[in-house]
Amino acid sequence: MADRLPIMAGNWKMHKTAREGAAFVEQLTDELADPEGVEVVVAPAFTGLQAAVEAAGEGVVRVAAQDIFWEESGAYTGEVSPSMLADLCVKYVIIGHSERRQIFGETDEEVARKVRAAIGAGLVPIMCVGEIEAEREEGRTEQVLERQVLGGTQGMAPEEVAEMVVAYEPVWAIGTGRTATPQIAQEAVAFIRSRLAEVADPASAARTRILYGGSVKPDNVADIMTQPDIDGALVGGASLAVDSFKSLVRYERRT
């Protein structure tokens, strides 16, 4: 894992009101105290961002947005600009999640525009990539990952690649209870890192933090985190309760 600081990030998706999210952050902050060796991130819905940032204060929890738009302003009803997120003191933004790609038809080009916009606003993108079940069964996992990685990072400088975060989320494992074996996850993440080395250079790619996402739970996170190229997890359901998310975060303290 070199010197890459692991991240445990909770993607709340369309769950929790602003008040519920703030209460979660306050409780998590109180119970974690000092989570040495891991960065803690939660991603509320847009309506809960300000309350979560205020609840987090100067504590251990960082806040991410779940999406972004690439324009700074204009007639884009329902969208949120990079400067709006930066103004809220959000640190991270999830981009290209499989639900955005599958349900809303987001393309690699749109992901790239969002990644560049986030970086331009001083935000850290968490760019999601991953294959659907049919693509894995057809042996096209690497082809899909290469397209998504190269497409999503087009035009980026090596230092920008080094500072971004990538999340490998095999779509067939998200919310299904199925988890890629640690070996499958490691192989995919190592492949992603090799493609990042093409975009930038090997040294920059070695600094990029790559997360695994897909039915991560307290009882399987330890095996996932033993893999040399996996630097944390992007968690859905297990991030919605303080106790289960806290168990994931504290994994690093137990090793």
pLDDT over 70 (residue 255): no
CB-based contact 88:53 (threshold 8 Å): yes
Known active-site residue 133: no
**96: CB partners within 8 A, 6+ apart:** 106, 108, 111, 114, 115, 127, 128, 129, 148, 152
Question: What pLDDT shows up at residue 214?
Answer: 87
Question: What pLDDT shows up at residue 83?
Answer: 97
Question: What pLDDT shows up at residue 187?
Answer: 96
Confidence band for 9, pLDDT divided at 50, 70 and 90: very high
Q: How many domains does the chain have?
A: 1
Q: pLDDT by residue (tens digit) across 193-250?
A: 999 999 999 999 999 999 999 889 999 999 999 999 999 999 999 999 999 999 999 8
Q: pLDDT by residue (tens digit) across 49-83?
A: 999 999 999 999 999 999 999 999 999 999 999 99
Q: Residue for token digits 């803690």? A: 40
Residue 171 lies in a domain: yes
The CATH number of the domain where 148 resides is what?
A: 3.20.20.70
User: Tokens for 80?
Assistant: 């949120």
pLDDT over 60 (residue 180): yes
**221: CB partners within 8 A, 6+ apart:** 233, 247, 248, 251
Known active-site residue 169: yes
Domain containing residue 174: 7-254
Which candidate in 97, 110, 135, 160 is catalytic? 97
Question: What pLDDT shows up at residue 2?
Answer: 56
Residue 246 lies in a domain: yes
Which candidate in 26, 160, 169, 252 is catalytic? 169
Query: Phi then psi for 155, rounded to 5 degrees?
Result: 85, 5
235 closest CA partner among 31, 3, 38: 38
Residue 222 lies in a domain: yes
251 closest CA partner among 211, 217, 212: 217
3-state helix, strand, coil in the chain (%, to 5): 50, 15, 40
| Cα 233 to Cα 217: distance, rounded to the nearest angstrom | 10
pLDDT over 50 (residue 178): yes
Residue 204 lies in a domain: yes
| Cα 69 to Cα 72: distance, rounded to the nearest angstrom | 8
6 CB neighbour count, 10 Å cutoff: 18
Q: What is the DSSP letter of 4?
A: P
Question: What pLDDT shows up at residue 122?
Answer: 97
Residue 194 lies in a domain: yes
Q: pLDDT by residue (tens digit) across 96-112?
A: 999 999 999 999 999 99
pLDDT over 80 (residue 253): no
**243: CB partners within 8 A, 6+ apart:** none
Residue 2 lies in a domain: no
pLDDT over 60 (residue 1): no
Q: pTM for the whole thing?
A: 0.95
CB-based contact 81:72 (threshold 8 Å): yes
pLDDT over 90 (residue 252): no
| Cα 119 to Cα 182: distance, rounded to the nearest angstrom | 31
Residue 94 lies in a domain: yes
Question: What pLDDT shows up at residue 254?
Answer: 43
Residue 1 lies in a domain: no
